[in-house]
Chain A
Amino acid sequence: MSIRFSCLRLCLAACALLTVAACASHPQWQLDDMQGHLPDLKFQMTNDLGQPVTAASYRGKVVLLYFGYTHCPDVCPLTLVHLHTVLQKLGRDADDVRVLFVTVDPARDSVPVLHQYVTAFDPRIAGLTGTQNAIAQLAKRYRAFYKPEAATASSSGNYEVTHSSAIYVFDREGHARLLATPGSSNDEILHDLKILVEQGS
C-alpha cells in the first residue's frame, strides 16, 4: 500500500515537473509574441521625480512601456486604469513589474505634472520624459508613432497628440517579449505577466 502510494506520488511529481518544463519552454502567450522582433529596452530619460534613468535602472523588473501624454483625458487613463487593475490582481508579484509611461508631449508635460498624473493611477507607474530627440529615438526604436495635431481656434490653443496605443512588454533582462493593445483584456495581460514574473525570479 505504502509502496503504491509512493509510486503514485513519484508519478505525480514527474508529471508536475514535465508540465513546468513544457510551460517554461513554450509558454502559451495570450498577447502577441514579439520575441526577436523588437530590440532590447534602451533609453536615457528623466523620471517623474526628476532623476536621470536608463533601461538599466529597471533591470530585474518586468517592464511595460506605453507612450502617452497627460492632456489625454480618455484613452491614456483607460489604458493606465487597465494596467492599475492588472497590478492589483498581481498582488505581491506587482513589486517585480514597472509601468513606464513615456510622454510624447514633453513641452506641456513637466516633471511635476507627469508625477501627479501617473501617481493618480498607481504608485508603480513611472512617468518618463526627455529631450524631443530622446523621445523620438525611443519611439522609433519600437516603431511607435506620435504626431501633435494643430491647435484649432475653437480649442483655444489646446492641441491633441495622436499616438500609438500599444503596450510593449519586456522581461527582467530587458528583452522585448510581448505586445498588448488597449483591446487586450486584463486577464490576458495578467496571464502573461505572471509567466514573465516567474521567469528568472
Chain B
Amino acid sequence: MKFPALIGAAMLAFCARAFAAAPASPSVRVEHAWIRWLPAKLPAAGYAVIRNEGDDTLRLTGASSPDYGMVMLHHSRLAQGDSTMEMVDHLDIPAHGSVKLAPGGYHLMLSQPTHTIKPGDHVKMTLEFAGGTRLQADFPVLPANASGPAD
C-alpha cells in the first residue's frame, strides 16, 4: 500500500515540476477579467487588466480559448464621431506597468463559441506573449448590461 502511494506522491511532484517548467511567466498577472455575454452566439468581448511585474516589456500577441473558435485582439476607436473596430496584432505591456483591456478600447473579440455560453459561466483563456510565454486566466461571463466585475 505504501509503495503506490509513494509513486503517486512522486508523480504528483513530477507533475508540479512539469507544470512549473511550462512557459508561464510568474511576472505577468491578469486582474479584473470578465466577458460581456451577448445572446444569439454573437461575438462577445473579453476585458482584463494585464499587469507586467517583470523588468522587460511584454508583448501580448494573441489569445485562445477552448470555448471559442476564434479569439482576436481588437481595438475600438472613436474618431470624429464615428466608431470603428480594428484588429491589432500585438499590444505591449511596459515593464512594471499594466494595460487595460476595457470597453471602448482594447478588447479580446470572441467569436464562434464552441458551445452555449451564458452569464455565470467561466471561460478559460490562454494569453500568448512574444517569446512563448503563456498565461492561463479565468474569465467570468457577466450579463450583457453589466459594467464590469465589480457589479
Contacts and interface: CB of A to CB of B under 8 A. Distances in A.
A162 B145 contact: no
A74 B76 contact: yes
Contacts of A71: 42-43
Interface string A143-160: 001000100101110101
A70 B87 CA distance: 18
Given A75-B76, A120-B39, A164 B145 contact: no
A136 to B, nearest CB: 16
A72 B109 CA distance: 10
Interface in A133-181: 145, 149, 152, 154-156, 158, 160, 162-166, 181
Most A C-beta atoms less than 10 A away, residue of B70, B84, B145, B147: B145
Contacts of A60: none
Given A74-B107, A75-B104, A165-B83, A156 B70 contact: yes
B82 interface: yes
A73 to B, nearest CB: 4
A40 to B, nearest CB: 21
A90 to B, nearest CB: 15
Interface in A54-83: 70-75, 77-78, 80-81
B4 interface: no
Given A155-B87, A162-B82, A77 B76 contact: no
A77 B144 CA distance: 7
Interface in B53-99: 70, 72, 74, 76, 78, 81-87
Interface residues of A, number: 35
Nearest to A76: B83
Interface residues of B, number: 33
Given A120-B39, A156-B70, A165 B103 contact: no
Interface in B18-48: 36-40, 42-45
Contacts of A155: 72, 87
Interface of B: 36-40, 42-45, 70, 72, 74, 76, 78, 81-87, 103-104, 107, 109-112, 143-147
Given A78-B103, A120-B144, A160-B85, 18 more contacts: A72-B85, A73-B36, A73-B45, A73-B107, A73-B109, A74-B104, A75-B83, A75-B85, A75-B103, A77-B38, A77-B103, A84-B145, A117-B144, A121-B144, A122-B145, A164-B82, A182-B78, A182-B83
27 contacts: A73-B43, A74-B45, A74-B107, A75-B78, A75-B83, A75-B103, A77-B36, A77-B45, A81-B103, A84-B145, A85-B147, A113-B39, A116-B39, A117-B40, A121-B144, A122-B145, A145-B81, A149-B84, A155-B72, A156-B70, A162-B83, A165-B82, A165-B83, A166-B81, A181-B81, A182-B78, A182-B83
Interface of A: 70-75, 77-78, 80-81, 84-85, 112-113, 116-117, 120-122, 145, 149, 152, 154-156, 158, 160, 162-166, 181-183
